[in-house]
Structure 1
Amino acid sequence: DEKSPADYGADVKPRLKVIKTEEPGGRKAGVKVKSVAELVDKLKNEAGVL
């Protein structure tokens, strides 16, 4: 038994209009660290995360 969205009173017409799309910018290369301490230091001082 197939039912349509209208059978449930659901309105499925589009409400958004896509104006334009574009690819995201490129990502920077990652950085390898030698220790957890170096990672924490970089997160605190360079990235400002911690």
Structure 2
Amino acid sequence: MHPHQDATRPEGRLPFELPRSMDAVRASRPDGTADPVFPHGHGLEL
């Protein structure tokens, strides 16, 4: 059986944001984000 032929559909959401670059990490506050590459709640939809 191929895993993509199962009756269930993969799904999920990011519980955090991913910064665009290391410079963005260095410039940000520990609890702040400005322009993430993937925002909180971004997720997989098939």
- TM-score, length-scaled by structure 1: 0.25
Rg: which structure is higher?
Answer: 1
- Relative to total residues, which structure has the larger strand share, 1 or 2? 2
TM-score between both structures, scaled by the size of structure 2: 0.27
Structure ranking higher on relative contact order (CA contacts 8 Å, 6+ apart) = 2
Q: When you count helix as a share of all residues, which structure comes out higher?
A: 1
